Structure 1
Amino acid sequence: MYLIKFSFILFISNILQYLYSIIDIIFISHIVGDYGVVALGNSASLMFIITSVSLGLSIGGSIIISKYKGANDSIKYKQSITTLLFLSALFSIIILVLGIIFSKHILIFMNVPKESFNYAYNYIRIIFSGVFFIFLYSSISSVIKSSGKEKVSLCFIIIASITNILLDFLFVYVLKLSVKGAAFATVISQALSFLLSLYFIRKDIVFSIDIKIIKELIYVSFPCIFQMLIINISFFVINIMMNKYDVITGFTIGLKINTFIGMISWSIGEALSILVAKNMGERNYIKIKNTVIFAMFFNISITMIAVIFIHIFAKNIISIFYNGDDKTINDIIFYLRVCASFNGIAYALMYVLDSFLIGIQKSYLAFINSFIDSIIFKVILSMILEISIGFIGIYISMAVSSVVPSIIGIIYFLMFIKTYKLNKY
């Protein structure tokens, strides 16, 4: 089935992109130590909020682009690409200016440990300087994937990932630039990805922007942006809460490992939303229903296989990221036992159904679901439980956060089946 092939390519792409931060962590943990790891962890939680805007725009753009491609409307297809790039450039410039001005104040607000503060500040300012490349590459990558050329996008990511590894070795290990070197490596690699992908789509860029497409893109993208924002703001808040505990290093590395499991859902969800949008353009509602059902079972199966694998080989996997004291290793294992377990079933369901809603241009419903998951459970419940059981309460809140949204997602899907009278198919 095309969904499996598409999801697999996107999964490899996501893994390679995630290697940017993972390679940074590996080099910094071995050369700088725990303070450097905590600095990167705090910087990452901030940058996830910033890139929420880019990711939300890219998701919305891919839906609009896929719809016009499915409808065989070449003019609006090209106009939607140009519009997406214009909005991405505009937002990146705004965030660049704000980031340079307020980055220090934000890190102070985050209560970053004083031993890690300068590392985090140096890293984040360099990353902000390259936010233009990060935004534009994300948008162009979504264009390439929406046009059915996901293998090309994968090739660009492979080139950029290899570049990042080589530059990390040069800047961090050879030149001893510490976290600054890791940041420079990331920005240069992203810039390379941007230039290569821009050259590839040059013929699809037209100097014409349709106001109706801008409105349509905003209608679909903004709920996606807010959805990504609240997801990452919740982790931002949790990071602040965790900074006061001596398990912060274990939490940071455990979250990195758990993210690999999440990438399965992200990849299947991204593929699903694009396919659903394309089928909406073709008005093939039966195929949408069947694809979503398959995606649910497929995602749950693969996610639980990954969960079992990580639990069996936990210490071996941890050794890739960390070679320090036994206490931190045990902290990582404890995090994984609580936050990377059978809750993966609920997360897999939630992500598939939210992606389905985005694909049928009901992004606001996916936003509501994310609000329940991220704010009500991850943040508010964490604050309540932390009072009595400390950081364990935060872990429990993170573990159960997807249960209610997954149930709501199933209800939305059943309503879709009823609306289009698909019960017989």
Structure 2
Amino acid sequence: MTDRKSTVDLLQGPILKSLIIFAIPLLFSNIFQQLYNTMDTVIIGHTLGDEALAAMGAAGAVYDLLMGFCFGIGNGLAIVTARSFGSGDMGQLKKSVAAAIVIGASTMAIITLLARFILHPFLQVLHTPPEIIEQSYAYVSTITLFIAVMFAYNLCSGLLRAIGNSVMPLVFLILSSVINIVLDFFFITGLGMGVKGAAVATVIAQGVSVLCCLVYIGFKVKILIPRRMHFTRDRELYKEMIAQGLSMGFMNCVVSAGTAILQSGINSLGYLVIAGHTAARKLYQFLNMPFVSMSHAMSTFISQNYGARQIGRIRKAMKCAYLYGAVLSIGAAALMLFFAPTAVRLLSGSSERMVIENGALYLRVVAPFLAILGMINPTRFGLQAIGQKMLPIFSSVIELIGKILFVAILIPRFQYMAVIFCEPVIWCFMVTELLIAFWRNPVIREGK
């Protein structure tokens, strides 16, 4: 039983139209997801000042590292479910959901325990300034204490997307976003909890979205509800799902590790640079959302069609994704050319010239390179969807090595200008490796 009104058929019909229809709810989901953090940034920047804003920015790299790993695992597990749906094997689909629950619960328990010991030392390794380190720790430690809640929503929404439903996770996320905004004001300004209040608000709001997903699945999407017999361990299935989940988890983790290393270089430039970069990165994440949404849509599309052995549709879909990314990058570059300084000023609440000018310059340089990123992510997710686990990780290793070199050699010499050009330069190397890996793959080239 599925909710057909909320489900997009990705196995037949016009490819670009289906991708866009499926990606639009994902885009709005990303927007409202980002509102969680953006409202934190706006409220903290306007009420607590540049130092508190910098504390959240310094914690962001650690947050992204942990959450990227968890979300990667969830997305990897959902890929196997999407393949089963595409092949029409409902028994295997329910087994994959049962395995995802077991693997996810075990992994989150381990991560929650480890996080208690590594967070504070990790912030010190990243050269977090002494005046903000305790605020940074208060924020990220609260989030990671309830990391299972964040993972549960990601898994539930991923499983719904696996069967073509990207609408209902959006509905629940809108509700929780409104709750998050209200709680932000209550905890940060009403109770005076500072940056920790933003973390508490995020966890509670995310918990609401989890409950909504579970209730909806229970009543409307019963094919995602495994029975007791489906929890019987299938060694091959568990092997595949663990490998797929860990592959995407480590891929995200390596990317986030590179971001954390880059953040350590930024932290050495002072809190005003951190504040400007934090505001700019929040705006960049909004610019990147249409690209991320298409990438996730491609992941589900390719997984389902790979399960159905429709390789021709996969090739055509990837070309559509590339064209989509190129068009959007032109629009993003034009937008930032005219509005970047105003956007940074509004988001940060700062009147410091360094904060505004650095943030605006970052956005103007990065925006045109989004076309390359619009090729990287669909190709990387596409490789994952057809079962290639190591090649996407290798692209992330390229990114990690590049950021290490920038932090060790170029940032000390060229300061924030090196930060600005770090990712665009690295993306050019990454896209070359990924395009070769995908289009020369026997499955894609010959349908084998």
Q: TM-score range by the shorter chain?
A: over 0.9
Aligned residue type for 1:329: I
Q: Is the 8 A contact 1:64 1:217 kept in 2?
A: yes
How far did residue 319 of structure 1 move?
3.1
Q: Matched residues, percent identical? A: 25
How far did residue 4 of structure 1 move?
0.9
User: 2:193 and 2:134 mapped to 1: Cα distance?
Assistant: 13
Q: Which residue of 1 aligns with 2:354?
A: 327
Q: Is the 8 A contact 1:85 1:136 kept in 2?
A: no
Aligned residue type for 2:138: N
* Aligned partner of 1:370 among 383, 386, 396: 396
Q: TM-score, normalised on structure 1? A: 0.94
How far did residue 382 of structure 1 move?
3.9
Aligned residue type for 2:413: S
Matched residue SS, 2:269: coil
- Structure 1: 5+ residue runs without aligned partners? none
Q: Which residue of 2 aligns with 1:36?
A: 52
User: 1:400 and 1:158 mapped to 2: Cα distance?
Assistant: 36
Matched residue SS, 1:150: coil
| Cα distance, 1:396–1:211 mapped onto 2, change above 3 Å | same
Q: Is the 8 A contact 1:279 1:287 kept in 2?
A: yes
How far did residue 142 of structure 1 move?
0.3
How far did residue 178 of structure 1 move?
1.3
User: 2:303 and 2:246 mapped to 1: Cα distance?
Assistant: 17
Q: Which residue of 1 aligns with 2:201?
A: 185
Question: For residues 311-350 of structure 1, what are the structure 2 equivalents within 5 Å?
Answer: 311-324=337-350, 325-338=352-365, 340-350=366-376
Aligned residue type for 1:24: D
User: 1:101 and 1:409 mapped to 2: Cα distance?
Assistant: 36
User: 1:214 and 1:45 mapped to 2: Cα distance?
Assistant: 31
Q: Which residue of 2 aligns with 1:18?
A: 34
Q: Which residue of 2 aligns with 1:266?
A: 292
* Aligned partner of 1:300 among 326, 330, 333: 326
How far did residue 348 of structure 1 move?
1.2
Structure 1 position 404 matched with structure 2 position 429: yes
- Structure 2: 5+ residue runs without aligned partners? 1-16
User: 1:244 and 1:302 mapped to 2: Cα distance?
Assistant: 34
User: 1:242 and 1:329 mapped to 2: Cα distance?
Assistant: 16
Q: Which residue of 1 aligns with 2:305?
A: 279
How far did residue 334 of structure 1 move?
2.0
How far did residue 417 of structure 1 move?
7.1
Q: Is the 8 A contact 1:386 1:394 kept in 2?
A: yes
| Cα distance, 1:294–1:39 mapped onto 2, change above 3 Å | same
Q: Which residue of 1 aligns with 2:130?
A: 114
User: 1:53 and 1:159 mapped to 2: Cα distance?
Assistant: 26
| Cα distance, 1:75–1:240 mapped onto 2, change above 3 Å | same
User: 1:354 and 1:87 mapped to 2: Cα distance?
Assistant: 23
Q: 1:279-309: per-residue Cα shift (whole Å, max 9, x none)? A: 1111111111111111111122113312321
Question: For residues 143-158 of structure 1, what are the structure 2 equivalents within 5 Å?
Answer: 143-158=159-174
**Which stretches of structure 1, 4 residues or longer, exceed 3 Å deviation after superposition?**
416-422
Q: 1:216-246: per-residue Cα shift (whole Å, max 9, x none)? A: 1122222211110110001101111111113
Q: 1:25-70: per-residue Cα shift (whole Å, max 9, x none)? A: 1111011111111111122210111112221112212210110001
How far did residue 251 of structure 1 move?
1.3
Question: For residues 170-209 of structure 1, what are the structure 2 equivalents within 5 Å?
Answer: 170-202=186-218, 203=222, 204-207=225-228, 208-209=230-231
Structure 1 position 165 matched with structure 2 position 185: no
Aligned residue type for 1:288: I
Q: 1:167-216: per-residue Cα shift (whole Å, max 9, x none)? A: 01111122222112111101101111112212222441333333322111
Structure 1 position 256 matched with structure 2 position 273: no
How far did residue 320 of structure 1 move?
2.9
Quote the RMSD (CA, aligned, Å).
1.7
| Cα distance, 1:421–1:29 mapped onto 2, change above 3 Å | same
Q: Which residue of 1 aligns with 2:411?
A: 386
| Cα distance, 1:316–1:389 mapped onto 2, change above 3 Å | closer
Q: Which residue of 2 aligns with 1:125?
A: 141
| Cα distance, 1:417–1:100 mapped onto 2, change above 3 Å | closer
User: 2:187 and 2:412 mapped to 1: Cα distance?
Assistant: 43
* Aligned partner of 2:81 among 53, 60, 65: 65
Figure out how many residues of one structure are paired with residues of the other and give that number: 420
Q: Which residue of 1 aligns with 2:238?
A: 214
How far did residue 393 of structure 1 move?
2.1
| Cα distance, 1:333–1:419 mapped onto 2, change above 3 Å | closer
How far did residue 272 of structure 1 move?
0.3
Q: Is the 8 A contact 2:332 2:368 kept in 1?
A: no
User: 1:56 and 1:206 mapped to 2: Cα distance?
Assistant: 26
| Cα distance, 1:389–1:205 mapped onto 2, change above 3 Å | same
Aligned residue type for 1:223: S
How far did residue 420 of structure 1 move?
4.3
How far did residue 18 of structure 1 move?
1.3
Q: Which residue of 2 aligns with 1:359?
A: 385
Matched residue SS, 2:148: helix
How far did residue 109 of structure 1 move?
2.1
User: 1:244 and 1:391 mapped to 2: Cα distance?
Assistant: 10
Aligned residue type for 2:238: I
How far did residue 418 of structure 1 move?
8.2
How far did residue 387 of structure 1 move?
4.1
